[in-house]
Amino acid sequence: MLIIDGLQYPPLERTPFENMRKGGVNAVHITIAYWETTQETLHNIALWQRFTRDNADLCYLIKNNADLEKIGVDHRVGIIFGFQNCSPISDNVGFVEIFHDLGVRFMQLTYNNQTRLASGTYEAFDTGLTRFGKTVVKEMNRVGMVVDMSHSGERSTLEAIEFSDRPITVSHANPKFYHDGLRNQSLAVIKALGQTGGMLGFSLYPLHLKDNSNAKLDEFCTMIAKTAEIMGVDNIGIGTDLCVGQPSSILEWMRNGRWSTQKDFGESTSKSMAWPAQPDWFTCAADFSNIAKGLTVVGFNTADIEKIMGGNWQRFFHASFGPAA
């Protein structure tokens, strides 16, 4: 069975990839920028290129569509670059193609805050897609970079789904009916995603889970079953949002960037800058098999489990990463 993780933010070291290999993960979309400028993002790409070269026994970069064919051929982890914000493109629509040429295949239009493109989920008001936002979505459609609205406001997300000529994704979030977190998604969004061939990746980040670190596997899998009824079983996958191994300074960076003069604790109700503990049935990517088992328990058949664990992402990648037809 192919296993693909729709989003992780691993530190630049072997451990997370060794865990992925243990867990049978064949490919992963990793985040390489939040608030990074263009220059800083190029630096991060250079670091990841060197890392994959130096650790070619464990992983490889998926830089073009031909590389997609390698997924699952051996037990190495295929890495796909993505941005959780539009900071890397600055105000330059031409940078979409430049980053696509460098292997970037996902870009969120926002990360919690308002951007030039759209509204983040933490803002009081939601513009929807801005003028520049529409231009950028068109350009992403043209070159084959997936619009990811995981951290966007509802209106912006619905507009992106409607405006984009190609299916989009919410790569790491859960439905609000399961847990009413700020980052989780409304029924309207998941229905619209499903109706347009988009993808929802279920998140294992504790703040997106019912009961957070004490979340139950069966409730998580029941939520997946309910979502499959709403969206269809072809439009869902896993997007763990795993950050295991990152220091708390990185959490502070994600939550505050350089835009804050006071510490912003995001969704953390304890107002803590410590990473929340993962639930015991999914402590790291080595535990992927627990999810597959949980899906069996709630009644999914093998074919559907294969879709959810990786098959749907694989199909979506093939349809999304090349230039528009």
Does residue 141 bind its own copies (CB under 8 A)? no
Among 11, 13, 37, 75, binds its own copies (CB under 8 A): 37
Least separation, in Å, of the C-beta of 182 and its own copies?
13
Among 31, 44, 52, 130, binds its own copies (CB under 8 A): 130
Pick the piece of the chain touching its own copies (CB under 8 A) from 53-61, 86-94, 207-215, 302-310: 86-94
- Output the CA–CA distances (angstroms, integers) from residue 280 to 10, 171, 277, 290, in the order listed: 19, 23, 9, 10
Among 114, 157, 235, 312, binds its own copies (CB under 8 A): 114
Among residues 293, 184, 197, 188, the alpha carbon closest in space to that of 241 is found at: 184
Does residue 227 bind its own copies (CB under 8 A)? no
Distance CA 34, CA 110 (A): 9
Inter-axis angle of helices 288-297 and 217-231, to 10 degrees? 70
Does residue 174 bind its own copies (CB under 8 A)? no
Phi, psi (rounded to 5 degrees) for 156: -60, -40
Pick the piece of the chain touching its own copies (CB under 8 A) from 22-30, 50-58, 85-93, 247-255: 85-93
Distance CA 269, CA 289 (A): 30
Does residue 266 bind its own copies (CB under 8 A)? no
Does residue 271 bind its own copies (CB under 8 A)? no
Least separation, in Å, of the C-beta of 123 and its own copies?
6
- Sign of the torsion formed by the C-alpha atoms of 101, 105, 108 and 109: positive
Does residue 128 bind its own copies (CB under 8 A)? yes
Scan residues 228-257 and list those touching its own copies (CB under 8 A).
257
Among 19, 84, 115, 235, binds its own copies (CB under 8 A): 115
Among 73, 91, 229, 325, binds its own copies (CB under 8 A): 91
Phi, psi (rounded to 5 degrees) for 166: -125, 155
Three-state DSSP at 226 gives: helix
Least separation, in Å, of the C-beta of 290 and its own copies?
37
Among residues 111, 109, 113, the alpha carbon closest in space to that of 129 is found at: 109
DSSP labels, 67-92? HHTTTTTSSSEEEEEEESSSGGGTT-
**What is the binding site for its own copies (CB under 8 A)?**
35, 37, 87, 90-94, 113-117, 119, 122-128, 130-133, 135, 138-139, 257-261
